[in-house]
Structure 1
């Protein structure tokens, strides 16, 4: 039997093509019609696998969240657990920045995200944090991670020195920041995370028994 000219559609192939489209064109650039054109199939072919674009995006979000590591909580060290979780969470989101607004809306019913949230909450409460505090720490960590993943501080400056020289004396080297963006962003995230964790340690020490 002759092999088909177009590879048979599968959910995995659809998700990969859709994510590549989002990475390239943004969330607004994804439509089932456009995705079908990328896959060289009719749009109707997609609907036997995914009824809606939102359902497809939910599965893509689940796959991205698979890379988020919550194993650091297993030893009972909440600070280590938060560090591993936050760094891997940021890396997973930063790899696909156009997906961040969708993922950041919340876990909803996404199984992988809910497993991660459950592990974080359990790790914190198991280490002695009250449940309400644990919920707040999870939320605060998310705010830190999403903010770091969705934009780059350093790349927000213009490369043209004339924008800054003689106009903003304290920003006279700002045009060079983009050259070191990855380094600055990584170290800045580390600084923010460390300060956050130090503050939590002080808070935990003063919680009533």
Structure 2
């Protein structure tokens, strides 16, 4: 019988496996030992490619960025800055939602290459051409970026989990616990329901604030 050949272990294979396994086990369950078991190798073999889990998470976030920038659907058409700004942030959220705990993986990551730079340069150039100073353009972009990542982290933590079949936060039980605080009780039905609408309303508020405070 011919022995079964296993793929050569390299950084790309480890990252692809980690992103696939992430959807099964979530970030808390994504250990180097679990990834090694999926690859049928010993955990120390992974340390040839990544010094620790954070280094792996940085590469995972970078690969998510590469996939996003390679997808024409996530490249907004050049046009008026407001529409392009909104489309860019919506595209980021869409990509993060492709992965279980995707926003947590992405948050705070240090990209391992400059695949993000061309898109960022184009976004900042569009803003400066619209009248933002370079500093204001950077602040405007980062504000929307931070809002999108933060919102998506909460959405993935509190909303329905399509990867695990979880229906999300029990809003009726929450309302019962907060019966003595009716405004707080009712707020849950706004904050933890219809995340698409909530994101759009928040993003509109971000855009209005940026235009009012940063645009020269």
Which category of TM-score, normalised to the shorter sequence, fits these structures? 0.7 to 0.9
Indicate the residue corresponding to 1:42 in structure 2: 42
Point out the structure with max Rg over C-alpha: 1
The count of corresponding residues between Structure 1 and Structure 2 is 202
Indicate the residue corresponding to 1:133 in structure 2: 136
Paired residues for 1:1-209 under 5 Å: 2=2, 4=4, 6-65=6-65, 66-67=67-68, 71-72=75-76, 74-75=78-79, 77-105=80-108, 107-152=110-155, 155-160=168-173, 163=176, 167-170=180-183, 181=193, 184-203=194-213, 207=216
- Alpha-carbon shift at residue 71 of structure 1 (Å): 3.4
Unaligned runs of 5+ in 2: 160-167
Unaligned runs of 5+ in 1: none
Aligned partners of 1:97 and 1:149 also within 8 Å: no
SS of equivalent to 1:197 = helix
Aligned partners of 1:159 and 1:175 also within 8 Å: no
Q: CA separation of 1:150/1:41 partners in 2, compared to 1, >3 Å: closer, same or farther?
A: same
SS of equivalent to 1:128 = coil
Q: CA separation of 1:170/1:67 partners in 2, compared to 1, >3 Å: closer, same or farther?
A: same
Aligned partners of 1:104 and 1:146 also within 8 Å: yes
Could you tell me how far apart the structure 2 residues matched to 1:108 and 1:10 are?
A: 18
- Alpha-carbon shift at residue 41 of structure 1 (Å): 1.5
* Structure ranking higher on relative contact order (CA contacts 8 Å, 6+ apart): 2
Q: Which one is further off, 13-22 or 103-112?
A: 103-112
Relative to the length of structure 2, the TM-score reads 0.72
Q: CA separation of 1:50/1:199 partners in 2, compared to 1, >3 Å: closer, same or farther?
A: closer
Aligned partners of 1:22 and 1:30 also within 8 Å: yes
- Alpha-carbon shift at residue 103 of structure 1 (Å): 2.2
Q: Which one is further off, 160-169 or 125-134?
A: 160-169
